[in-house]
Amino acid sequence: MKATCRDLDLTLRRTFRISRSAVDVAENVLLSIEHEGLTGLGEAHPYDFRGEDRCRILRALGFLADWLEGQASLAEAFADVRADGPPEAWPRAVANLLDCLPPEVRTSRGAMAALDVALHDLAGQRLGQPLWRLFGADPARTPLTSFTIGIAPVPEMQEKVREAEPYAILKIKVGTPNDLAILDGIRAVTDKPLRVDANAAWTVPEAIDKIRAIQPYGIEFIEQPIPPGDIAGLREVRRAVSLPILVDESVTTADDIPPLAGAVDGVNIKLMKCGGLQEARRMIGLARSFGMKIMLGCFIESSVAITAAAHLAPLVEYADLDGHLLISNDPYTGVALDAAGRLLLPDRPGLGLLPRA
C-alpha cells in the first residue's frame, strides 16, 4: 500500500468572502493510495478556523507515506475486501487502519479526512460498488444542495444571485453591519428559499435582533449565529426566535453533539472538520438520536471531497455541497446536479470519479 500526495490549488471563479476571511485560491492537498493495481483518492482542505494550514497537512501525509510502507499486515487486511468476501470486511479493514494511525498523522483533521476518503474509495473499487450502496443509502433520496452567495457589495451579491439561477436554494453569507441591507437586496432579485449563515459573527443580542428582523424574508434556517463554545448563548438565541438554529463551527466531531442537545435544531457535518466518512456516519447516527436535523457541508473543495460527502447525502435533510461549483479548475467529475440542483450520485465503484479532460 503506497501513499502519495501533491498540492491542489483550486482557483475561485470570484473572491469568496465570509464574515472573517476572503479567499481567491484554496490551498488543498490531493492524496492517492495505491494498492494492488487500484488507486483510491482523497482530498484535504485546511480548516483554518482551528489553525490548520497546508503545511500541517503535508507533514501529516508525509509521515503517513513513510508509515504505510512498513504496515504489511494492515495492507493484507484489504485482501478480504472483495466482491465474494464477508460483508463486514470492508468497514473492518478501513476502521483497523484508521485506528492504528500514529499521532503524527492524527494532528491534522484534513489529512485524516483525505486518508479516510481514499480508503473508502479503494474499498468500493475492490468491491465493485459505489459508496452510497455500501452505506445502505437510497440515491433517490438525495436533497437539493444550496448554492452559496459570499459577502460582497449588495449589487455584486445580486449579480451572483442571478448567476445562480439554476439552483433552487441559496445560502447567504452575512456577519457585517450591512446584514439587513444584504437581505433586502437579495429579496429584491429572488423569491427562492434562503439559508442565512453568520459564521459566528454576531453577539447573542445581535443574533436575536437580526434573526427577528429577517424572519419575514422567507428564511429556512440560521447557521452559526454566535461564536462556538457559548452553548448557553445558543440556547438563549433559540428560545428567543422562531427560526431553526443550526451550528457549524460549534461541532467538529461526534463528541461535540451531546452538549448541544436542546440548544440547537441541527448540525452541519463536514468531512474536513470531523476527519472523514467514518466519523461523519457516526455523527449522523448520534445527531439523529438527539432529534437533530443534519446538513452536510463543505469548504472550497474539488469533486473528490464533494463527491465523498455526497455519498452520505441521502441520509440527511440538508446539503450545502457546492464547493466544486465555485472553482474554475476542478480536476475530476463525480457527483452531478439535476436541473433543480438535486445531487445525482455516480453509480461507478468507490467514489465514482473520472479525470476531467
Q: Could you tell me the pTM of the whole model?
A: 0.96
Contacts of 159 (CB under 8 A, 6+ apart): none
pLDDT higher than 90, residue 145: yes
pLDDT higher than 80, residue 257: yes
- My answer on whether 203 and 319 are in the same domain is yes
pLDDT higher than 90, residue 355: yes
- My answer on whether 209 and 108 are in the same domain is no
- My answer on whether 35 and 176 are in the same domain is no
Sign, CA torsion 47/51/53/56: negative
DSSP per-residue string spanning 183-232: HHHHHHH--S-EEEE-TT---HHHHHHHHHHHGGGTEEEEE--S-TT-HH
Counts for the chain of helices (H) and strands (E), in that order: 14, 15
Q: Which grid cell sits at 216?
A: 419575514
- My answer on whether 197 and 67 are in the same domain is no
- What pLDDT is stored for residue 357 in this prediction? 80
Check which CATH number belongs to the domain holding 191 and give it. 3.20.20.120
- My answer on whether 93 and 120 are in the same domain is yes
The boundaries of the domain holding residue 292 are 139-355
Q: Is residue 52 part of a domain?
A: yes
- My answer on whether 96 and 148 are in the same domain is no
pLDDT higher than 90, residue 74: no
> The cell 479525470 sits on which residue?
355
CB atoms inside a 10 Å sphere around CB 191: 7
- What pLDDT is stored for residue 110 in this prediction? 97
Query: Using 50, 70 and 90 to split pLDDT, how confident is the model at 75?
Result: confident
Contacts of 205 (CB under 8 A, 6+ apart): none
- What pLDDT is stored for residue 77 in this prediction? 78
Domain count, the chain: 2
- My answer on whether 86 and 165 are in the same domain is no
Average pLDDT, the chain: 96
pLDDT higher than 80, residue 73: no
d(CA 57, CA 280): 20
d(CA 38, CA 35): 5
| Mean pLDDT, residues 248-274 taken together | 98
Bigger pLDDT: 142 or 86? 142
- My answer on whether 20 and 169 are in the same domain is no
- What pLDDT is stored for residue 19 in this prediction? 83
Query: Using 50, 70 and 90 to split pLDDT, how confident is the model at 20?
Result: confident
- My answer on whether 145 and 121 are in the same domain is no
Tell me how many degrees the CA angle 306-224-14 measures, rounded to the nearest 5.
50
188-220 pLDDT, tens per residue?
Answer: 999 999 999 999 999 999 999 999 999 999 999
Lowest mean pLDDT of 46-50, 143-147, 225-229, 286-290, name the range.
46-50
Residue 196 near residue 212, CB atoms below 8 Å: no
| Mean pLDDT, residues 66-89 taken together | 85
| Mean pLDDT, residues 253-272 taken together | 98
pLDDT higher than 90, residue 272: yes
Check which CATH number belongs to the domain holding 81 and give it. 3.30.390.10
- My answer on whether 211 and 281 are in the same domain is yes
317-351 pLDDT, tens per residue?
Answer: 999 999 999 999 999 999 999 988 899 999 999 99
- My answer on whether 155 and 251 are in the same domain is yes
